[in-house]
Chains A and B, each alone.
Chain A
């Protein structure tokens, strides 16, 4: 299964609503993770099963979608959200990652 993300990079202002898209080349049901990775840090799980917020993740993050089209949204961008975001499916092996979306502040 090929995972595509768009855009590959994104600049937005503090307070903006930001949406990142992940597309799977075939149906993966709801089996999608979203990770946030800050420079030099370990990836952090944000969303599992496409739409469930992981423990401790701020409520401004949300995930949606099913099948082949998925989104990660940030309702009001904060400076600490600057990071690269990856999707990963786990429908069946191999559990491939998307190429990432680099988000920075305009």
Chain B
């Protein structure tokens, strides 16, 4: 069974940092692209970052460029999102999402709250 389990969310002050992790199981992690998608309270879905299966292609949304960094460790079946210089508007549930189309699978999400 495909499982994506996010961790690392929590309450952080503006300007602070967090590192989100996503532990993948039930599939060959190294053959799928991965994404971080977030959803602010009461709002829609936003693609935050994308990384190809090998890590050769990386995308960050303009809203997080220069502050967030997506990475992966295929040996550990894990996806990461390093977040720094956090702002109130980064408050959201962050989902780890496998690939797209028929291969799309979502984790349960982890809540990041940026507040003083």
Contacts and interface: CB of A to CB of B under 8 A. Distances in A.
A61 B19 CA distance: 38
Contact of A96 (B47, B57, B102, B106): B47
Interface string A8-31: 000000000000000000000001
A52 B106 CA distance: 19
Interface string B79-103: 0000000000000000100001110
24 contacts: A33-B100, A33-B101, A42-B106, A42-B107, A42-B108, A42-B109, A43-B45, A43-B95, A43-B106, A48-B101, A48-B104, A49-B101, A54-B102, A86-B44, A88-B45, A88-B100, A90-B101, A94-B47, A94-B59, A94-B61, A96-B47, A97-B37, A97-B47, A100-B45
Interface of B: 35, 37, 44-47, 50, 57, 59, 61, 95, 100-102, 104, 106-109
